[in-house]
């Protein structure tokens, strides 16, 4: 019986996966449940890089609010389960008891959910081992009532394990936007992230160079390596940092930042046509 299972293949997204352990069937079943639960969402896009601090949350927030300004119904999921930041960028303070199904809160027309909303003290660290992080993420995906959305944007954690692996395995994604900075080391880690997605059969939709000095060499290095479109650059700006730090949405406050994001978002949703 075990031998028979080992010879089977199952389809996860676009990838054929050899069954090496019976638990893969649980993943397939969970994926099916999540697919049904999220059937009202047209597009799911993750914002990702294996490297920390490059601007994943920044890009996710501003992408979501740009899409909202373009007239779409948008949700934002903090997929950084153990070190959530989204609420800080959005000045969401209230902690509450989790009531099932979980309901996102609405911030200026965008639906938002984060583990931080269910932890009473913002500075308290959430210390979990990998399997608990993956379990919590799966629970979040299964338990949240998003309703109808055009776009769900996922703010991913750094790294190439646990929660990001779960996202790739459990969700039927449109794909990922990969974020890098101009630095070669950031580019190498961004390439690594895109390679991981591709290996698991998830598309890389484009690359953003954040904290750009104008040269765009980091972003182009990544988009060339991943054979995907370069969406554009976001300049390093003190105003950006100041607005984010004070819980304001940069694209709603600064016309230059807004233009950068409108151009990148149009490229992203048109697939570069
Ligand atoms: N273009 C920019 N100009 C100036 N500051 C920026 C810019 N982009 C991001 N920052 C600042 O850099 C810091 C890191 O950004 P952010 O939290 O978005 O990175 P991250 O990749 O999500 O980090 P983590 O890996 O911890 O999740 C934040 O303080 C943010 O305000
Ligand atoms: Mg982040």
Burial class (CB in 10 A: 0-12, 13-18, 19+), 2: exposed
Per-residue confidence (pLDDT) for residue 53, from 0 to 100: 95
CA distance 54 to 198: 21
Which residues does ligand 1 sit against, CB inside 6 Å? 52-58, 80, 85, 158, 210-211, 234, 236-237, 240-241, 244-245
- What's the rounded mean pLDDT across residues 162-168? 86
Q: What separation in Å is there between the alpha carbon of 242 and the centre of ligand 1?
A: 11
Per-residue confidence (pLDDT) for residue 17, from 0 to 100: 63
- More confident site: 1 or 164: 164
Residue 89 confidence class, pLDDT cut points 50, 70, 90: very high
Query: Atom 6 of ligand 1 has which residue's CA nearest to it?
Result: 241
Q: Give the tens place of pLDDT for each residue, 12-32.
A: 667 776 655 556 677 788 889
The SS3 assignment for 250 reads helix
In sequence order, what E strands does 23-73 have?
A: 41-48
Tell whether omega for the bond before 242 is within 30 degrees of 0, i.e. cis.
Answer: no
Q: What separation in Å is there between the alpha carbon of 195 and the centre of ligand 1?
A: 23
Q: What are the structure tokens assigned to 243, written together? A: 């607005």
Q: What separation in Å is there between the alpha carbon of 62 and the centre of ligand 2?
A: 13
DSSP 157: P
As a whole number, the mean pLDDT across the chain is: 88
Task: Show the domains of the chain with their CATH numbers.
Answer: 1-37 (no CATH), 40-270 (3.40.50.300)
Residue 6 confidence class, pLDDT cut points 50, 70, 90: very low
Atom of ligand 1 nearest to the CA of 53: 23
Q: Give the tens place of pLDDT for each residue, 189-237.
A: 999 999 999 999 999 999 999 999 988 899 999 999 999 999 999 999 9
- What's the rounded mean pLDDT across residues 22-44? 86
Per-residue confidence (pLDDT) for residue 116, from 0 to 100: 83
Q: What is the largest CA-CA distance in the chain?
A: 63
């Amino acid at each position: 019986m075990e031998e028979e299972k080992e010879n089977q293949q199952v389809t996860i997204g676009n990838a054929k996966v050899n069954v090496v352990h019976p638990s893969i069937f649980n993943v397939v079943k969970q994926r099916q449940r999540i697919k049904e639960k999220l059937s009202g969402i047209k597009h799911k896009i993750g914002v990702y890089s294996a490297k920390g601090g490059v601007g994943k949350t920044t890009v996710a927030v501003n992408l979501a609010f740009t899409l909202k300004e373009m007239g779409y119904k948008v949700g934002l999921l903090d997929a950084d389960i153990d070190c959530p930041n989204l609420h800080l960028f959005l000045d969401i303070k209230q902690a509450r008891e989790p009531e099932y199904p979980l309901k996102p809160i609405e911030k200026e027309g965008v639906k938002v959910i984060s583990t931080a909303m269910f932890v009473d003290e913002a500075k308290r660290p959430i210390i979990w081992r990998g399997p608990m992080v993956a379990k919590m993420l799966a629970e979040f995906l299964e338990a949240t009532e998003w309703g109808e959305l055009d776009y769900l944007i996922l703010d991913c954690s750094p790294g190439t394990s646990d929660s990001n692996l779960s996202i790739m395995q459990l969700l039927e994604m449109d794909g990922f936007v990969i974020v890098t900075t101009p630095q070669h080391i950031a580019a190498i880690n961004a390439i690594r992230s895109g390679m991981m997605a591709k290996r698991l059969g998830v598309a890389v939709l484009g690359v953003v160079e954040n904290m750009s000095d104008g040269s765009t060499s980091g972003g182009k290095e990544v988009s060339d390596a991943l054979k995907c479109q370069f969406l554009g650059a976001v300049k390093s700006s003190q105003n950006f940092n100041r607005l984010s730090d004070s819980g304001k949405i940069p694209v709603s406050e600064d016309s230059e930042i807004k233009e950068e994001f409108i151009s990148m978002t149009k490229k992203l949703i048109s697939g570069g046509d």
